[in-house]
A and B are shown apart, each in its own frame.
Chain A
Amino acid sequence: MNAGLPLVENEILKLFRRRRFRLVLLILAALNGLIVFAQVQVQARQKGPRKEWRVEVQERIARTENWLRSGRVTDTWRRWGRFEIGRLQYHLDHDINPEKVSGPLYTRGFANAGSLLLLPLLAIVLASDIVSSEFSEGTIKLLLTRPVTRSRVLAAKAAALILAITLTVLAGGLLAYLFSGLAYGFSGWGAPVLSGFRLAGEAVDLSAIRALPLWQDTALVFGLAWFSALCVGAIAFFTSVVLRSTAAAMGSMVAALIAGTILPRLAPEWESQKYLFVTHLPLPDIYSGSPPPIEGITLIFSVVVLAAWAAAALLAAFGIFRRRDVLA
Chain B
Amino acid sequence: MSLSESSATGAILAAESLSKSFGRRQAVADVSFEVLPGEVFGFLGPNGAGKTTTIRMLVGLARPDSGRVRIAGLDLHKDFARAMRHVGCIVESPDLYRYLTGRENLRHFARMLGDGAAGRIEELARLVALEERLEEPVSTYSLGMRQRLGIAQALLGSPDVLILDEPANGLDPAGIREIRHLIRRLASERGIAVFLSSHLLSEVEQTCDRVAIIHRGRTLASGPVRELLAAAEAPLRVTARPGARAAEILAAFARQPPRLDGEDVVSAEVPRERVPEAVRALSNGGVEIFSLERRAASLEEVFLEVTGGETV
Q: Which residues of A contact B (CB under 8 A)?
A: 1-2, 6-7, 9-10, 13-14, 17-18, 137-139, 141-149, 323, 325-327
Contacts and interface: CB of A to CB of B under 8 A. Distances in A.
Given A18-B99, A325-B63, A147 B111 contact: no
Nearest 3 CB-CB pairings of A with B: A138-B95, A2-B114, A6-B111
A25 B100 CA distance: 21
B61 A325 contact: yes
A148 B63 contact: no
B239 interface: no
A123 to B, nearest CB: 22
If over half of B's interface residues share one DSSP class (helix, strand or loop), that class is named, otherwise mixed; here it is loop
A327 B157 contact: no
A2 B117 CA distance: 12
B97 A144 contact: no
A263 B85 CA distance: 52
Contacts of A18: 99
Contacts of A6: 111-112, 114
B97 A141 contact: no
Interface stretch (B38-46, B76-84, B293-301): B76-84
Interface stretch (B11-19, B86-94, B266-274, B304-312): B86-94
A57 B281 CA distance: 119
B202 to A, nearest CB: 27
B292 interface: no
B203 interface: no
A322 to B, nearest CB: 10
A141 B87 contact: no
A139 B149 CA distance: 13
Nearest to B114: A2
A17 B112 contact: no
B96 to A, nearest CB: 7
B153 interface: yes
Contact of A145 (B60, B97, B99): B60
Residue picked from B60, B61, B113, most chain A C-beta under 10 Å: B61
Contacts of B141: none
Contact of B56 (A7, A139, A142, A327): A327
A325 B77 CA distance: 13
Given A13-B104, A141-B92, A2 B113 contact: yes
Contacts of B85: 147
Given A13-B104, A139-B96, A145 B111 contact: no
Contact of B84 (A2, A14, A17, A145): A145
A14 B113 contact: no
A146 B114 CA distance: 11
20 contacts: A1-B81, A1-B114, A6-B112, A9-B111, A10-B112, A138-B93, A141-B92, A141-B95, A142-B91, A142-B95, A143-B112, A145-B87, A145-B89, A146-B109, A146-B113, A149-B81, A323-B63, A325-B62, A326-B62, A327-B61
Given A10-B108, A139-B95, A146 B84 contact: yes
B61 A141 contact: yes
Contacts of B145: none
A144 B93 CA distance: 15
Contact of A142 (B60, B98, B104, B109): B109
A117 B97 CA distance: 32
Given A148-B112, A327-B61, 15 more contacts: A1-B81, A1-B114, A2-B112, A6-B111, A6-B114, A18-B99, A137-B95, A138-B92, A141-B92, A145-B59, A145-B84, A147-B80, A147-B81, A147-B113, A148-B81
B109 to A, nearest CB: 7
